[in-house]
Amino acid sequence: MKLFARPKCFTEAIAPVITLNRLMGLRVFEYPRGHSRPIFSLIYLLFLYCLVYYIGSFHWGEYYMDLRLLKLEYFLYKILDNIIICLVLVKLLLGWWYTKKFDACYKHIFEIDETLRQLGTTVNYDRIYFITIGIMITWFTFNFCTCIVVFIVMRMHSNIYVTIGSLVVYSYALAVNSINIFDFYIFVKYLQMRFDLINQLLREHSMLSIKEIKLGFFEMQDYTKIIDVEQRCSLPIKMLSQWCRQMQPRKNISLSKKQKSVKSQIQSDFPSHFQKQFQGKLRNRSQKQNSVITECQKRKYLLQIIKQVHLQLCKVSKTVCTILGVQTALEIGMIIMFLTGSLYNLYIRYIARQHKITDSVLQQTAVTIILNSFHLLKITFLSRVCKHAADKGNKTIEIIYSIYGCDTESGVQEEIQQFGIQILQSPVRFIAYGISLDNHVLTMMLKTVTTYLVIMIQVSNSLESNKAIQNA
């Protein structure tokens, strides 16, 4: 697909992300197109991992040996480095394993969009495509600028080879972690747009249906309305007055009996051409009633289709939570560890004054704040889009009840009840391995970081005061 050309399907809209996933070893290669190569992809990702593990374990160890760290600092840095390297391997293997489920998601999304097109909606992917391009450009720019700053800081404490090796490991780990979050964000953004499109479709069709139903109903409180209609047909005044006197004692009769009595009276008293004219009007009204029945069937059929589309979107959301939930939960755990270590680092340098504040320390602090801000922004945007998508998906039943709730048609009422039970039994939620992705995820992270930070400060004071434990 040409750059900035209008994409025709969801896979074309996110084609740059799919390509980047394959280059990073997170997806199975396809060559030729449509023919997966799982063995070759597994060898490729293991090669990448071994390269990253060798560079990270060798060069980062030399970098830490040149720094004067506290006992707990050195231990935490080494543990955090090993955890990051292990998490990279886990995410690579999970991405390779779930490639078929990704393809199944793309297939379901294609079917959903084709169904929505048949309902008359306009389905385009321009917004998702430009979001993808914009975030990728922003991410590459941020990564490049951060690498420059990290290179300047590390070059003061180590040689050129250690610095370059550390930057390679850092860039690759950051890319793997960021792509998983970005994949989750794109899928949830698509689901949010489709739930919103369903709600809009319901509103548009309901307004059209209400207008047609009001025009099609034949209601008559008494027979003076029939008299008025026939007056417009130039009926004799004496004959109309005779009808009124004959029909007045029967105002409380049901609608069907009144129609029959009027029709029999017309047949006995009216000339033939008036009878034909009046019977023609009755046939027109019966045709309108038949159109009302057809409209009710259309609304019932529309509800059935939207119910199935909504169910398929819920299935896609659950599949996305399955294939990306573990990676997202691991990323949240790593961010908690990174935040805790960073805040502890700032505490011992600026509050406890364990290190002398120099230009190098200030540069390290700037890099730490930039990375923490980037990690927090990732989780913030992901939690917000998950919250909005869940609200859009669960709001569908409220719209249906507000529009069709007063409809007396039994078939429509049954569909509404089944739709409500479907959403109640399977509400739209986004969960990452037990962690609910909504506005409360940041609160949970801050509580966890605060708890572990207090524990780390207490343990650090005990370790530094214990002379039996030697420095590394």
Q: What is the DSSP letter of 348?
A: I
- For 347-406, where are the alpha helices, taking DSSP H only? 359-404
pLDDT at res. 193: 94
Instruction: Give per-residue burial for 431-463: e unless 16+ CB within 10 Å, then b.
Output: bbeebbbbeebeeebeebbeebbeebbeebeee
**Could you give phi then psi for residue 432, rounded to 5 degrees?**
-110, 90
Distance of alpha carbon 245 from alpha carbon 230, whole angstroms: 16
Q: pLDDT per residue over 55-91, tens digit each? A: 766 555 444 444 455 556 667 777 777 788 888 889 9
Start-to-end Cα distance in the chain: 55
In this prediction, residue 97 has a pLDDT band, given cuts at 50, 70 and 90, of: very high
- Tokens matching residue 472: 């590394």
| Most confident among 100-104, 146-150, 409-413 (mean pLDDT) | 100-104
| Most confident among 178-182, 201-205, 206-210, 214-218 (mean pLDDT) | 178-182
**400 beta partners:** none
Q: pLDDT per residue over 313-357, tens digit each? A: 999 999 999 999 999 999 999 899 888 888 887 887 778 776 666
Contacts (Cβ under 8 Å, ≥6 apart) of 469: 71, 463
Q: Are the C-beta atoms of 324 and 435 separated by less than 8 Å? A: no
Distance of alpha carbon 72 from alpha carbon 453, whole angstroms: 12
**290 vs 433 pLDDT, higher one:** 433
CA 152 to chain centre: 39
Q: pLDDT per residue over 151-166, tens digit each? A: 887 777 677 777 777 7
| Amino acid identity, position 235 | L
Q: What is the DSSP letter of 249?
A: G
Q: Please, what is the average pLDDT of the chain?
A: 76
Q: pLDDT per residue over 440-454, tens digit each? A: 898 899 999 999 888
- CB atoms under 10 Å from CB of 48, counted, come to 18
Return the ∠ at Cα 313 (arms to 409 and 329), rounded to 5°: 140
- Tokens matching residue 371: 């990375």
Question: With 0-12 CB in 10 A as exposed, 13-18 as middle and 19+ as buried, what is 355?
Answer: middle
- Tokens matching residue 465: 């005061």
CA dist 342 → 212, 239, 381 (Å): 64, 98, 22
Tell whether the model's pLDDT for residue 290 goes beyond 80: no
In this prediction, residue 472 has a pLDDT band, given cuts at 50, 70 and 90, of: very low
In 3D space, the residue among 188, 176, 141, 178 whose CA is nearest the CA of residue 56 turns out to be 176
Tell whether the model's pLDDT for residue 117 goes beyond 50: yes
pLDDT at res. 119: 83
Rg over alpha carbons for the chain, rounded to the nearest Å, is: 35
Instruction: Give per-residue burial for 396-422: e unless 16+ CB within 10 Å, then b.
Output: bbeebeebbeebebeebeebbeebeeb
**Could you give phi then psi for residue 435, rounded to 5 degrees?**
-95, 120
pLDDT at res. 405: 63
| Amino acid identity, position 110 | F
pLDDT at res. 32: 81
pLDDT at res. 463: 63
Tell whether the model's pLDDT for residue 39 goes beyond 90: yes
pLDDT at res. 40: 92
**348 vs 291 pLDDT, higher one:** 348
pLDDT at res. 272: 55
Choice among 174-188, 267-281, 331-345, 362-376 with the minimum mean pLDDT: 267-281
| Mean predicted confidence (pLDDT) in 121-127 | 87
pLDDT at res. 314: 93
**119 vs 389 pLDDT, higher one:** 389
